[in-house]
Amino acid sequence: MAEIKLMKGNEVIAEAAIRCGCDGYFGYPITPQSEVMETLMAREPWKETGMVVLQAESEIAAINMVYGAAACGKRAMTSSSSPGISLKQEGLTYLAGAELPCLVVDVVRGGPGLGTIQPAQSDYFQATRGGGHGDYHLLVLAPASVQEMNDFVSLGFDLAFKYRNPVMILADGVIGQMMEKVQLADYSPRWTDDDIERISGKWALTGKKGRDRHVATSLELDSYKQEIFNHKLQAKYRLMQENDARHEELHCEDAEYIFVAYGSSARICQKSIQLCREQGIKAGLFRPVTLYPFPRVPLRALSRRVKGFMAVEMSAGQMVEDVRLTVDANVPVEHFGRYGGVIPTPDEIVEALKKQIISAS
Amino acid sequence: MTVETIDIIREENLVYRKTPALTDNVMHYCPGCSHGVVHKLVAEVIEETGIREQTIGVSPVGCSVLAYNYLDIDWAEAAHGRAPAVATGISRLHPEKYVFTYQGDGDLASIGTAEVMHACNRGENIVIIFVNNAIYGMTGGQMAPTTLVGQVTSTTPYGRDVKLNGFPMKITELLAQLDGTGFVTRQAVHTPLAIRKAKNAIRKAFENTKKDKGTSFIEIVGTCSSGWKMTPVDANRWMVENMFPKYPLGDIKDI
């Protein structure tokens, strides 16, 4: 019998981690996501499942602890918010370069710098373009509900191991802090040594026994070999695009105008669609669920039959670039954003659609 | 009576052999460098104590970044200075394994100060091998935190000036102050006697892991003849005369 509870997004991340058989969480406090580690410490999962939870001395140490745990073929994760995620970029590029799977949760707040502790979506570029140095990408999942905060933990680990690549759950302060009804997953056991041998036996650090030594490294001093390795990474990213680009459409069947929005902006746009339709404007919502890989194919298909797209983000315009790169050039694409911690209202989104697209065409 | 060489090279006459825990790869270290000796000691201890299949090493950024090419065990290569955090992740999830970091002075005492400090303070059940040759070798001989006052490096071309660069850091003494460290010692590998003592210290450190005695920290004062721009023999002499007074050898803490 599935367990249904009323919980905060951040608390659900912790609960879902324990239930999906996560082996280790390494974190550092930062608003607005500190409830993740607080919940874990209160739950004491080491007594229950053996999951390790450790408060690191810094975001940098936390992501490197994840690197060590991930190198052992364990399911390891960390969570943070924007300034802390900036600090983790070094670790993330090493994880991507060593092809180590892990889960990173980013509950985004407004920036730049210390910015604000209020919600924002201004770290889309950082999340989807790699973030650290080198040609790499994270696979980025964007939850729009507390339920998806739950579902994406297990999904995130699955995708991380499928591609041997770090996966990021890119939430924002709204999703992290709000309480909703959530159906919790059933408990899955942590992987045994045999499971790890079966799943990651070709690379995991388990102690050199009856095989060649395993080395988790991103170093290759021979440029030609390093180029070949980069080819391999790029092939992996193409596979992600082909097989794991995810999205959701709402009222797009008859829509003339489409909002493109993810996370909490997508939730707000649901109300904007309702307001539009009350005024006779046929509006729909295209919600990218994976931000990298961006769901290009279905969005491009839509662009052949609609009158315009409005990218709605709590940023000065980041995802809108992916929309413009995707859709037919003759379809107008506009951006509406509130940022610095300000959340847009459904009404101002409708007004922006009318002013920037409907009246302008 | 003459003895043919071929008659001497027999199994029963062997007094020395390369430990199987060392690979056959040719080391990239410069002539006179201490790393080769320290690698050998770590490999011998791992082999002799029978823990090779349970040992995971963490290599740093610096001259010993490629340590994983020389010791035939599982390895993680860490970002610059982060080896103790990486080792923490491994050790916490593999508490039954022997986990060690191998770091130089730039890696451990400069960019990785926070990571080593807190790993030691938590008393992570790991071994830390710290090779201090008072210089950044790999990048071409720049000043390290442990560079001596007046010592010439490529970024202190007129000698280390304390007003400009601060003082040589005795990080090993600092770490000995932390309750999480169980064994803290400073050794060298410039003479056969020193090598034997260093090996005993390394053995003790790995045995401490089995006894869960907290973090074992071994500094090895070493030479960098290329960076110091000396012959290996002169470098050893210079180390004895200049490094040892500042970084005296011996156990600092053993509980």
Question: What are the tens digits of pLDDT across the range B240-255?
Answer: 999 999 999 999 999 9
In a domain, A17, yes or no: yes
In a domain, B179, yes or no: yes
Q: Answer whether A55 touches B (CB < 8 Å).
A: no
Question: Which of A57, A67, A206 is nearest residue B89 as measured by Cβ atoms?
Answer: A67
Query: CB neighbours (10 Å) of residue B96?
Result: 9
Q: Is B114's CB within 8 Å of A58's CB? A: yes
In a domain, A152, yes or no: yes
Q: Residue A231: what residue type?
A: H
Rounded to whole angstroms, the Cα distance separating B131 from B219 reads 6
Q: Please give, rounded to a whole number of angstroms, the shortest distance from the CA of A51 to a CA of chain B.
A: 9
Among chain B residues, CA nearest to A91: B79
A192 and A255 within one domain: no
Question: Domain span at residue B34?
Answer: 29-254
In a domain, B88, yes or no: yes
Summarised one tens digit per residue, pLDDT across range B179-200 is 999 999 999 999 999 999 999 9
Q: Answer whether A76 touches B (CB < 8 Å).
A: yes
Say how many domains are in chain A: 2
Q: Is the pLDDT of residue B93 over 90?
A: yes
| Three-state DSSP state, A208 | coil
Summarised one tens digit per residue, pLDDT across range A132-156 is 999 999 999 999 999 999 999 999 9
Between the CA atoms of B43, B49, B53 and B59, what dihedral angle is there, to the nearest 10 degrees? -40
In a domain, B1, yes or no: no
Q: Is the pLDDT of residue A361 over 80?
A: no
pLDDT band of A1, cuts 50, 70, 90: low
In a domain, B19, yes or no: no
Q: Answer whether A94 touches B (CB < 8 Å).
A: yes
Please say which residue of A166, A197, A228 terminates a domain: A197
In a domain, A227, yes or no: no
**What's the per-residue H, E or C state across A42-107?**
HHCHHHHCCCEEEECCCHHHHHHHHHHHHHCCCCEEEEECHHHHHHHHHHHHHHHHCCCCEEEEEE
In a domain, B224, yes or no: yes
In a domain, B140, yes or no: yes
In a domain, A205, yes or no: no
In a domain, B7, yes or no: no
Which CATH number is A303's domain given? 3.40.50.920
| Token output for B54 | 């349970």
A120 and A32 within one domain: yes
Mean pLDDT of chain B: 96
Q: Is A61's CB within 8 Å of B82's CB? A: yes
Among chain A residues, CA nearest to B116: A61
Per-residue CA distances from A169 to A166, A172, B44, B60 (Å): 10, 10, 45, 30
What pLDDT shows up at residue B220? 98
Question: Which of A72, A207, A215 is nearest residue B77 as measured by Cβ atoms?
Answer: A215
Which CATH number is A32's domain given? 3.40.50.970
A152 and A7 within one domain: yes
A118 and A18 within one domain: yes
Summarised one tens digit per residue, pLDDT across range B20-43 is 999 999 999 999 999 999 999 999
Q: Which of B55, B72, B82, B91 to mutate: most A Cβ within 10 Å? A: B82
Summarised one tens digit per residue, pLDDT across range A167-191 is 999 999 999 999 999 999 999 999 9
Mean pLDDT of A220-237: 98
Mean pLDDT of B155-164: 98
A274 and A144 within one domain: no
A295 and A193 within one domain: no
In a domain, A271, yes or no: yes
Q: Which of B77, B100, B138 to mutate: most A Cβ within 10 Å? A: B77
In a domain, A277, yes or no: yes
What pLDDT shows up at residue B10? 83
Rounded to whole angstroms, the Cα distance separating A86 from A106 reads 10
| Token output for B28 | 């990239």
Which CATH number is B225's domain given? 3.40.50.970
- Identify all chain B residues contacting A98, using CB atoms and an 8 Å cutoff: 77
Rounded to whole angstroms, the Cα distance separating B214 from A320 reads 52
pLDDT band of B147, cuts 50, 70, 90: very high
**Are B124 and B180 within 8 A, CB to CB?**
yes
Buried b vs exposed e over A292-320: b needs ≥16 C-beta within 10 Å?
bbbbbebbeebbeebebbbbbbbbebbbb
In a domain, A243, yes or no: no
A61 and A146 within one domain: yes
Question: Domain span at residue A346?
Answer: 248-358
Question: Which of A64, A208, A215 is nearest residue B85 as measured by Cβ atoms?
Answer: A64
In a domain, B136, yes or no: yes
Please say which residue of A197, A232, A260 terminates a domain: A197
In a domain, A228, yes or no: no
What pLDDT shows up at residue A329? 87
Say how many domains are in chain B: 1
Lowest pLDDT segment from A113-122, B12-21, B81-90, B127-136: B12-21
Q: Is B76's CB within 8 Å of A215's CB? A: yes
Question: Which of A56, A64, A209 is nearest residue B78 as measured by Cβ atoms?
Answer: A64
A253 and A152 within one domain: no
Which one, of B83, B125, B78, lies nearest residue B108 by Cα?
B83
- Identify all chain B residues contacting A69, using CB atoms and an 8 Å cutoff: 89-90, 92-93
The predicted complex's ipTM stands at: 0.96
| Three-state DSSP state, A271 | helix
A86 and A184 within one domain: yes
